[in-house]
Amino acid sequence: MIDYIALALGHGLLAIALLRLVMRPGLDEDPLIEAIKTETEGNRKTTSAAGRNAARRERQAGKGAPDAPGSSNAAEAPRA
């Protein structure tokens, strides 16, 4: 009889501990996953042609016309 009580008590305490672990609010939150998602999105944007073009358009819109040599700028006077 005492064996059944000991088994029931041990298993009951394990079940309570398992339920407390499973019901934790932060169980499904992993800060590393957010960092990986951000890094993956950045990599995806830089490796695709559309992403590179969009980044170039953003830089040009923010700075105006680029000052790099060889770039065509309508405001420049033609060189003789």
Q: What is the pLDDT of residues 60-77, one digit of tens each?
A: 988 755 555 555 555 555
Number of Cβ within a 10 Å radius of residue 15: 10
Instruction: Provide φ and ψ at 38, rounded to 5°.
Output: -65, -45
Mean of pLDDT values over 23-30: 82
Distance CA 36, CA 42 (A): 10
Report pLDDT for 5. 94
pTM over 0.75: no
Please say whether the beta carbons of 55 and 45 come within 8 A: yes
Arithmetic mean of pLDDT over the chain: 79
